[in-house]
A and B are shown apart, each in its own frame.
Chain A
Amino acid sequence: MHDVSVEPVISLQGITKRFGDHAALGGVDLEVGPGEIRGFLGPNGAGKTTAMRIIVGLLRADEGTATVLGGDPWGDHAVRAELGYLPSDPGLYGRMRGNELLDHFSALSGREPVLRAAAVELLRFSNADLERPVRTYSKGMRQKLGVLQAVQHDPTLLILDEPGEGLDPLVLSGLVELLRDRRDAGRAILFSSHVLAEVSSLCDRVTMIRDGAIVGEGTIAELSKQRARTVVLELVDPATTIDLPGCELTDRSGTRVALQHHGDVGPLLQALSLLDLHDVRIEEVSLDEVFMEYYRDHEATA
């Protein structure tokens, strides 16, 4: 969990970025501390990759301040010695063998690949695979190699743009284990993903971005609390009047009533106890639903 008293590894303040007429980021603030895994979520084109490229120093922010590992990622290339980056579509030299490619990027980093052996095992790579030219790799294997080149030198900060893309469930569990292990070693990890189960199982905190602006940030529990729960009642008497605190009727047919509930569940449970019910079901909000609600908000606004 991010401790506010500790110097953040990533600090974005008021970052804006335009590509021609298109505003990719409009005043983004983001802080990630050491020993934290931060999920970065948002629909396609929301600005996740742009923000990540600014953090890595590939793009220059039009306005605002980006501080990464205590330095300016655009102006000070030395800060990138402590950084590992996996782009969403990593360009790996096809003619090189897997091992050669890892050696090459390790040499460019100027650091020993101290984590390579462990990561190779967790990601279920074999030595035979690493001896083959990269051009013979499947999409999943390329992705694994992309993750390997990012983590092998044990960087202080990992920026992973959709690391789970194309990985089978076994490898994915290895990746989760690898990232948790790095988090426990005090490394900071910022990653984007569309696999929401992966995000909810892995992240300490989640940042939601939409149309280039941060629209939500917190733990999964905090974000879920802000969103509506589904409450389904089975009434004994279909004529019962329903007036529950924080609830909004979404469907009613016969004895079945569906509601959307916002806020604390205490008053709701109290009110429910006064009703004559056959059954009650309060469905916990999943990250999927939280994400979809944020997305729907966006659609409605648009």
Chain B
Amino acid sequence: MNRTLILRLICEQRVRLPLEVVLIGLWGFLLVAVFATSEVFTKQLEAQADQFGDLLDLVGLDPLAQWASIGFQHPIFLLGGGLFAVGLSIRAIAGELEAGSLALALSRPLARRTWFLSHLVVLIVGCVIIGEAYAVGCLLAVALTDPTGNLEAGSMLLAGLQSALLLLALGSIAFVISAFSSERGRALSWSVGVIVVLYAGNFLLPLWGPTKAAAQLSPFAWFNPAPLLQRGTVAWGDVLVLLLYAAIPLSVAAWQFARRDLAGG
């Protein structure tokens, strides 16, 4: 890792990341605040949970925990976190290569491995901050609005870490595409396309028997914070799969980046 490089990356994120953190935190806060002020939502959720219980795996959970869990899996959270994770990963290689700044940086005594690891550190830290921002937003709303139900702070923070793993997995998909690409736009299009397909697949594939098992290929299938929020137990199997989902593409990206020519876009 390189301190100068990490400081530059943090400096680049000094507006965007805090803004995303505030918006995600606000999202968590509003979700719980709305829940606390509307009994109707609770009833609706219970009805939906009964109806789509198999799909959402939410049956029998505390309504507040269900609500907070849905917020973690909601496109608003995923879009906010994904913007950071995918954006940073795309810029790390394809973006800087196309802009011409990668050539300048790597003409210094800076190993490609160092470049890669420095970006990875910022990616991991950013994902954790975003995941925890939602958790903190929810907990703040619980403290201020005192809703019906139970939301343990420890479980919520652990779920925030679990969501960071999902965001890291999404970032790793973008990282590997970035490592094979020389054009930022193309890498971004491919990354968004793959992630959208994986997201949609997680919901659509289980609807038809023969494709049900294929849904397990999506990282979204391995992220369900509801049991953690309800019972406080970590689904280590899911965590391991998400870790692998992040680690394998990142390893491929690191291998490809170390051996590829940097010839520009």
Contacts and interface: CB of A to CB of B under 8 A. Distances in A.
B213 interface: no
A70 interface: no
B262 A108 contact: no
A149 B104 contact: yes
A93 B95 CA distance: 12
Nearest to B15: A95
Q: How large is the interface on A (under 10, 10 to 19, 20 to 34, 35 or more residues)?
A: 20 to 34
A interface SS class? mixed
B108 interface: yes
B102 A56 contact: no
A261 to B, nearest CB: 43
Contacts of B261: 53, 58-60
B100 A59 contact: no
A19 B108 CA distance: 25
A79 B107 CA distance: 10
A207 interface: no
A109 B107 CA distance: 9
B107 A104 contact: no
Interface stretch (A82-90, A173-181, A220-228, A284-292): A82-90
Contacts of B12: 93, 95
B100 A108 contact: no
B104 A78 contact: no
A108 B5 contact: yes
B111 A91 contact: no
Contacts of A95: 12
A59 B262 contact: yes
Contacts of B192: none
A77 interface: yes
B4 A80 contact: no
Contacts of B263: 19, 50, 53, 58-59
A105 interface: yes
B100 A89 contact: yes
B104 A91 contact: yes
Interface in B1-56: 2, 4-5, 8, 12
B51 to A, nearest CB: 49
A92 B12 CA distance: 13
B96 interface: yes
Interface string A44-57: 00000010010011
Interface in A60-88: 60, 77-81, 83-85, 87
B233 interface: no
B109 A78 contact: yes
B96 A91 contact: yes
Given A77-B109, A78-B109, A108 B102 contact: no
Given A60-B261, A108-B5, A91 B103 contact: yes
Given A89-B100, A95-B12, A56 B109 contact: no
Interface in B39-92: none
A115 interface: no
A105 B103 contact: no
A109 B108 contact: yes
B107 A56 contact: yes
A91 B109 contact: no
Nearest to A80: B109
A267 interface: no
A107 interface: yes
Given A19-B263, A58-B262, A59-B262, A109 B109 contact: yes
B106 interface: yes
A106 to B, nearest CB: 9
Interface in A144-179: 149, 159
Contact of B108 (A53, A59, A92, A108): A108
B263 to A, nearest CB: 6
B105 interface: yes
A93 B110 contact: no
6 contacts: A53-B103, A53-B262, A56-B106, A57-B107, A85-B103, A108-B109
Leading 4 A-B pairs by shortest Cβ distance:
A91-B100, A91-B101, A85-B107, A91-B99
Interface of A: 19, 50, 53, 56-60, 77-81, 83-85, 87, 89-93, 95, 104-105, 107-110, 149, 159
Given A53-B261, A80-B106, A91-B103, 15 more contacts: A53-B103, A53-B262, A58-B262, A58-B263, A77-B109, A77-B110, A77-B111, A77-B112, A80-B110, A84-B107, A87-B100, A87-B104, A91-B101, A108-B108, A109-B109
